[in-house]
């Protein structure tokens, strides 16, 4: 049950257990006060039979890592996984890996999964996962190589950032656009509503071509 009197947001009770610039920017866009305190846990240790289970496990590891030292705060952990069929695409380590990932994605549908975990004082952790399907355009090798030359793919799961120059490589999105960016905002506000009054926060519309 949610608390009868939701705590105030005046003192920014939310901690983001991530240094992701995308997640930081998205939280700022909805006007939610928060503090950044990145977790250094190795998300590769997360276990799960399905991608959503693995993403949630990694998110929970991050949130609980920070919550141990900040037990008075609400801590948000998140983890995003890109799946092409049964294959999980991580972050490319070099241009060759980025070329291979984008070649595999070209002209095909894939799934982006983000796991969320909120750890709040005196409450059991809240976890959930969002799934979004993305279809890449049938872009040329030159378009792919021009994109890789921007340097943008190298810290992105799947080797692309839909909110950046890779928008031109994406044909369509089926589901939550912000999930593909790295943080499903509607799902996050649903979870936060169990602990805080979030009625004043709204999710901005995605770019028109991805509505």
Domain with 51 in it:
14-200
User: Is the residue at 211 inside a domain?
Assistant: no
Q: With contact defined as beta carbons under 8 Å apart, do 112 and 81 qualify?
A: yes
SS (H, E, C) 162-187: CCCHHHHHEEEEECCHHHHHCCCHHH
User: Is the residue at 4 inside a domain?
Assistant: no
How far is 115 from 126, CA to CA, in rounded Å?
Answer: 11
User: Is the residue at 87 inside a domain?
Assistant: yes
Is 40 a catalytic site residue? no
User: Which structure tokens are listed for 164?
Assistant: 């950046």
With H, G, I as helix, E, B as strand and everything else as coil, classify residue 132: strand
What is the number of structural domains in the chain? 1
Q: With contact defined as beta carbons under 8 Å apart, do 176 and 130 qualify?
A: yes
User: Is the residue at 2 inside a domain?
Assistant: no
The vertex-187 CA angle with 184 and 191, nearest 5°, equals 130
pLDDT of residue 211: 85
Residue tagged active-site, from 42, 79, 145, 165:
79
Is residue 10 scored above 60 in pLDDT? no
User: Is the residue at 122 inside a domain?
Assistant: yes
pLDDT of residue 46: 78
Q: Which CATH number covers residue 185?
A: 3.90.950.10
pLDDT tens digit sequence for 115-143: 999 999 989 999 999 999 999 999 999 99
Global pTM value: 0.91
pLDDT tens digit sequence for 18-27: 999 999 999 9
User: Which structure tokens are listed for 211?
Assistant: 């509505």
Is residue 159 scored above 70 in pLDDT? yes
Confidence of residue 47 (pLDDT cuts 50, 70, 90): confident
Q: Please give the torsion angle defined by the CA atoms of residues 54, 58, 60 and 62, in that order, rounded to the nearest 10 degrees.
A: 180
Confidence of residue 6 (pLDDT cuts 50, 70, 90): very low
User: Is the residue at 5 inside a domain?
Assistant: no
Is residue 36 scored above 80 in pLDDT? yes
User: Which structure tokens are listed for 139?
Assistant: 């872009």
Task: Output phi, psi for 115, to 5 deg.
Answer: -95, 140
User: Is the residue at 85 inside a domain?
Assistant: yes
Q: Is 38 exposed, middle or buried (0-12, 13-18, 19+ CB in 10 A)?
A: middle
User: Is the residue at 205 inside a domain?
Assistant: no
pLDDT of residue 11: 55
pLDDT tens digit sequence for 164-177: 999 999 999 999 99
């Amino acid at each position: 049950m949610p608390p009868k009197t939701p705590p105030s947001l005046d003192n920014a009770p939310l901690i983001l257990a991530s240094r992701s610039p995308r997640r930081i920017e998205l939280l700022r866009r909805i006007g939610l006060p928060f503090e950044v305190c990145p977790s250094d846990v190795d998300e590769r240790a997360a276990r799960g039979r399905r991608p959503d289970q693995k993403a949630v496990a990694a998110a929970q590891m991050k949130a609980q890592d920070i919550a141990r030292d900040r037990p008075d705060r609400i801590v948000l952990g998140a983890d995003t996984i890109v799946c092409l069929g049964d294959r999980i695409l991580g972050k490319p380590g070099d241009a060759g890996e980025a070329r291979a990932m984008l070649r595999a994605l070209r002209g095909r549908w894939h799934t982006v999964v983000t796991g969320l975990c909120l750890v709040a004082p005196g409450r059991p952790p809240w976890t959930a996962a969002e799934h979004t399907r993305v279809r890449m355009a049938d872009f040329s090798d030159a378009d792919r190589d021009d994109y890789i030359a921007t340097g943008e793919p190298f810290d992105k799961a799947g080797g692309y950032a839909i909110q950046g120059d890779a928008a031109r490589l994406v044909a369509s999105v089926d589901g939550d656009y912000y999930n593909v960016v790295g943080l499903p905002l509607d799902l996050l506000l649903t979870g936060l509503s169990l602990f805080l009054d979030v009625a004043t926060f709204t999710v901005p519309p995605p770019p028109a071509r991805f509505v």
